[in-house]
């Protein structure tokens, strides 16, 4: 068993009583020990090392999953999703986040799994968005899971020669329904250590596509590494199969309104309750409307304001009479908050038509709220200027 993992990253944080509760939940014999004389850490490591390989690996997988959830964000996900009031006291009595995560795995494994997914979702920032889609109830959306799975397999096999198998895990987080799709990828040769020897093994790994649908808003977000044309097909497949709308989804839907930054009277207006210490526009990229491949990027140093950006644009003759010939294709806005501790700095990169780098952490969501208030992100009516 990897000693560094146990000593530094996990077992040092777990008391023996909780570890024995875990063992009992998995139908293993608990460790009997003298609390005053025995070295608990050594006993636990020895116990696990002496298990048969399959059982030892099962425990290691649980430990790795527990470590994944053992953070402030992971524990927040547990408390957010938990419906058992009595369990709140059980969690609160634990010494640290590692114990809270393991406690959740022991007593509420389904909650544990869902909390890991929520933590993953909150940390994902590479979503592409389409709005004004058909509004379908959560019940209807969830009923289309199998049909959606089959359509996704058919698309991937016909266009990419992969995806023979595909499992989609569905999670209902109340305001949104999330589909975590795991299609089978092309076979790959991997170098793995087995019995301390490096060996080559051919495997068929999966890859991940995340679909997030907001029933009350008619909004769909997709996270994928696919390029634009195939990503657009994913929007169409979801729209037709899950939402029952055979009309194609707009391929260039303008979710962002970055040209608003070119207005000479544009200002980053701040509300005191948002506790923003500083915000500034660090970069914009302009594309020539007549020759889209022709572009120029303008940068500002921290401390300069939007007036400085306007001045630089005028100096480059990119405003004034030529204003209408250019469009802002990308902008980077940096925030410094008075709150959120070490997470008080946020960099938001906005790229037309629908891309932003903001995730769902509290600081990122407050930044997004400000950007929406300034008219740069449009999550609803596309006629908003």
What are the two backbone dihedrals, phi and then psi, of residue 2, each rounded to the nearest 5 degrees? -65, 110
pLDDT in tens, 265-282: 888 888 888 899 989 888
pLDDT at 356: 86
The DSSP element (H or E) to which 279 belongs, if any, is strand 276-288
Specify the 3-state DSSP secondary structure of 328.
Answer: strand
Closest among 123, 87, 127 to 107, alpha carbons compared: 87
d(CA 170, CA 204): 22
Nearest 5°: the CA angle 142, 144, 147 is 145
Q: Are 274 and 365 in contact (CB under 8 A)?
A: no
In tens digits, what is the pLDDT along the chain, a chain of 385 residues?
555 555 556 788 888 899 999 999 999 988 887 666 567 778 888 888 888 989 988 998 999 999 999 988 889 889 989 988 889 999 989 999 999 999 999 999 999 999 999 999 888 877 888 988 999 999 999 999 999 999 999 999 999 999 999 999 999 998 899 999 999 999 999 898 888 899 999 999 999 999 999 999 899 999 999 998 999 999 999 999 999 999 999 886 767 888 888 887 888 888 888 899 989 888 989 887 655 567 888 887 766 555 666 666 666 555 554 445 677 889 999 999 998 888 889 999 999 877 888 888 889 989 999 998 998 986 543 333 2
Q: Are 259 and 276 in contact (CB under 8 A)?
A: no
Q: Tabulate helix, strand, coil % of the chain (nearest 5).
A: 45, 25, 35
| Secondary structure (DSSP) of 192-209 | EEETTEEEEEEE--B--E
Q: Which residues contact 138 (CB under 8 A, 6 or more apart)?
A: 172, 177, 215
- Calculate helix-pair angle for 53-69, 72-81, nearest 10 degrees: 90
What are the two backbone dihedrals, phi and then psi, of residue 124, each rounded to the nearest 5 degrees? -85, 130
Closest among 93, 95, 101 to 119, alpha carbons compared: 101
Q: Which residues contact 108 (CB under 8 A, 6 or more apart)?
A: 82, 84, 87
| Secondary structure (DSSP) of 143-190 | HTHHHHHHHHHHHHHHHHS--SSEEEEEEE-SS-EEEEEEEB---EEE
Q: Are 144 and 240 in contact (CB under 8 A)?
A: no
């Amino acid at each position: 068993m990897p000693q560094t993992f146990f000593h530094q990253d996990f077992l040092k944080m777990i008391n023996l009583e909780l570890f024995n509760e875990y063992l009992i939940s998995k139908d293993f014999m608990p460790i009997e020990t003298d609390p005053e004389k025995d070295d608990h850490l050594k006993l636990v490591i020895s116990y696990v090392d002496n298990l048969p390989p399959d059982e030892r690996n099962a425990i290691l997988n649980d430990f790795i999953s527990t470590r994944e959830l053992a953070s402030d964000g992971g524990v927040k996900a547990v408390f957010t999703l938990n419906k058992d009031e009595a369990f709140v006291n059980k969690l609160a009595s634990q010494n640290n986040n590692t114990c809270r995560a393991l406690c959740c795995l022991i007593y509420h494994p389904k909650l544990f799994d869902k909390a890991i997914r929520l933590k993953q979702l909150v940390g994902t920032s590479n979503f592409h968005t389409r709005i004004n889609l058909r509004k379908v109830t959560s019940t209807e959306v969830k009923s289309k899971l199998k049909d959606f799975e089959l359509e996704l397999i058919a698309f991937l096999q016909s266009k990419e020669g992969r995806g023979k198998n595909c499992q989609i895990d569905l999670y209902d987080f109340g305001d949104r329904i999330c589909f975590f799709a795991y299609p089978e990828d092309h076979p790959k040769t991997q170098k793995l250590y087995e019995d301390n020897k490096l060996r080559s093994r051919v495997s068929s790994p999966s890859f991940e596509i995340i679909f997030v649908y907001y029933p009350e808003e008619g909004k769909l977000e997709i996270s994928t590494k696919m390029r634009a044309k195939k990503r657009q097909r994913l929007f169409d497949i979801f729209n037709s199969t899950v939402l029952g709308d055979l009309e194609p989804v707009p391929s260039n839907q303008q979710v962002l309104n970055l040209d608003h930054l070119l207005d000479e009277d544009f200002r980053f207006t701040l509300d005191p309750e948002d506790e923003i210490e500083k915000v500034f526009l660090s970069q914009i990229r302009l594309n020539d409307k007549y020759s889209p491949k022709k572009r120029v990027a303008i940068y500002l140093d921290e401390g300069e304001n939007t007036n400085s950006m306007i001045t630089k644009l005028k100096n480059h003759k990119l405003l004034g009479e030529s204003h209408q010939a250019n469009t802002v294709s990308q902008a980077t806005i940096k925030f410094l908050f008075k709150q959120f501790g070490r997470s008080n700095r946020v960099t938001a990169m906005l790229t037309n038509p629908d891309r932003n780098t903001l995730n769902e952490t509290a600081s990122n969501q407050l930044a997004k709220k400000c950007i929406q208030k300034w008219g740069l992100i449009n999550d609803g009516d596309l006629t908003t200027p």
